Amino acid sequence: MIPSKIFFKPEIYNSIDWAKENINNAPDGSVFMADAHKFTRGRQNRSWLFDKGQLVITLLLKPNILNILNILKNEDLGLRLNNLNMAISLAILENLEKFNIKLKWPNDFNYDNFKVAGILSQAIWQDNKISGIIFGFAINTNNLIKNNNLNFNAISLREISGDIINKENLFKEILVSCDRYYKIWLNLEFENIFNIWKEKLNYLINKNILIHKFDGEKITGKFIGVLENGDIVLEFENKIQEAISFNIVENILVKK
């Protein structure tokens, strides 16, 4: 059940590290919350600016089926964990779509080309096996970004809607969605999760995508679709298609 337990502190250094520290004693479905975060980071340990208007949630999952997944081949384990990431992403998106927000591959949620939210997942290894998966996600909720002329390509729910958002209600609604999608994943409905996730990215089909890789390379191609492992498929001018892994992508831009 999500949440099985809520851990709260007025202020913490980093919620991902806090969840790691409790990996052995916190139950499956634990949620870690704080009013203030001294240090926040995203993919590749890149830091981002915390604002008290944001909704920041850290979720610890320790499913029993990890005992089964840990004895699978590495590619099968990775496939199922990527599928869990899709499930949690869909749970968040479910509560943001009313603001006309779309899922942005690989791990963001955008309004037009402005970032509203992002998700980070991290598998925790102990004794050569995975003991849990931590999800951290932050949503620009009531913070003012564009109106303060901050140099960020981002926007908040408040700025989109023109209204102050009830963060407590949004928090509860997201956890309800996370619980439902987590149960779907626990029921081994991996194909169902992938098909829903794939459908949410259909708006990108045949659009030109500019990809910034972590190594500095930039490539542009036409979005063809997604694979079960979460990779996207691009088609280039020479009609050659290539699968692109999210592990090598820093950012993407949908070209108009």
Task: Supply the range of the domain harboring residue 14.
Answer: 5-200
68 and 125 together in one domain? yes
Rounded Cα distance, 76 and 212, in Å:
28
Structure token pair of residue 112? 């037009």
Which of 24, 26, 20, 23 is closest to 7 using CA atoms?
Answer: 26
Higher pLDDT, 239 or 242: 242
The pLDDT tens digits of the residues spanning 20-45 come to 999 999 999 999 999 988 766 655 55
- Examine the domain organization and report whether 111 and 223 are in the same domain: no
Give the Å distances, CA to CA, from 46 to 41, 82, 91, 173.
5, 21, 24, 28
Q: Are residues 189 and 239 in the same domain?
A: no
Q: Residue 227 sits in a domain of what CATH number?
A: 2.30.30.100
> For 49, left (φ over 0), alpha (ψ -120 to 50), or beta?
beta
Tell me which residue has tokens 């700025």. Answer: 159
Domain CATH for 102: 3.30.930.10
Q: Among the three residues 178, 200, 222, which one is the final residue of a domain in this structure?
A: 200
Q: How many CA atoms lie within 13 A of 105 on its CB side?
A: 31
pLDDT for res 145: 84
pLDDT of residue 117: 95
Instruction: Indicate the length of the chain as a whole number.
Output: 256
Instruction: Tell me the residue ranges of DSSP E strands in the chain.
Output: 5-12, 30-37, 55-61, 102-104, 108-111, 114-126, 129-139, 208-213, 218-226, 232-235, 241-244, 249-254
Does position 70 have pLDDT exceeding 90, yes or no? no
Residues 54 and 105 placed together within one structural domain of the fold: yes
Domain boundary among 200, 228, 244: 200
Tell whether 159 and 138 lie within a shared domain: yes
Tally the domains of the chain. Answer: 2
| pLDDT higher than threshold 60 for residue 151 | no
Percentage with pLDDT > 90 across the chain: 70
- Do 90 and 114 lie in one domain? The reply is yes
* Residues 240 and 194 reside in one and the same domain: no
- Residue 129 has a pLDDT of 86
**Domain co-membership, 157 together with 212:** no
Amino acid at 109: F
Q: How far out from the chain centre does Cα 42 lie? A: 10
Q: Which helix (H) or strand (E) holds 29?
A: none
What does each C-alpha distance from 253 to 42, 103, 106, 107, 213 come to in angstroms? Answer: 18, 13, 11, 13, 12
Whether 126 and 238 map to the same domain: the answer is: no
Q: Are residues 182 and 211 in the same domain?
A: no
